[in-house]
Amino acid sequence: MTMKIQKIGVVGAGTMGSGIAQAFAVSGFDVVVRDIAQGALDHAKSAVRRSLDRLVSKNKLEAAAAEAALARIRMTLAIEDFADCDLVVEAIVEKFEVKKAIFAELDRVCRQDAILASNTSSISLTKIAAATKIPPRVIGMHFFNPVPMMPLVEIIRALQTSDEVAAAVTALCGAIGKDARVARDSYGFVVNRVLIPMINEAINCVYENIASAEDVDAMMKLGAAHPMGPLSLGDLIGLDIVLDVMETLYAGFNDPKFRPSPLLKQMCDAGYLGRKTGRGFFTYSAA
């Protein structure tokens, strides 16, 4: 299995996929981004350009470096374009069956020595690896939003992940300026096992009329030194994602402490998902 990583594939052109592509491209890696919709690819390309332009305007990146990074990213509708990638990072919807289907396609298309990573924020990597033909090459790379700015990557070792793959991916994170921290495979890993239930409990405080959304956030910022209130953070993450993680924790651990808030479910049913829809616990102007 090759441990020399030069070309990166990214499955999914959403917020996380485009951010992951940018992080690798800025660090000099060639990147192929694949999605099933051309509109998603066009939006991702525009999002990366806007992000790079902001970095240039803040003197955090040279204009020439931004253009070079953009040129390193290729958009495609064909999964076969991952055939020569050394590493492919899956960054799609947080549903096991959908991920399982993608990894089956990657098994078919990718070289046997390519590393397959998932950006899952809560689903068992051991379960994902078990659904593939070569489980030792599967690993978790949990990036955080916004990817270009957030320094952490949670490296999740499946029970089957080889030492060589774990070492190569950890070193790769360092090469793109990220701080890799390794966690054993467990539902939610570390960050989301702590963070998402906190957001869920903040939602329960509103649901039970203990305090307003504004006051819950203000109390956590003033009393716990949080830079952002938990409800604002939930809106930033996406309340549908918060619900997905809570449901994964609830089902995985079979523990009532991880039961999603009824208000969280109602918000998602109403389509009030946070910043991306313009309304969550707070309202937002169009991007």
Active site amino acids:
121, 142, 154, 192
Q: End-to-end alpha-carbon separation of the chain, Å?
A: 43
Residues 128, 138 contacting (CB under 8 angstroms):
yes
For residue 281, the one-letter residue type is F
Query: Rounded CA gap, 94 and 273, in Å?
Result: 15
Query: Rounded CA gap, 268 and 56, in Å?
Result: 36
* Structure tokens that stand for 143 in this block: 């990036």
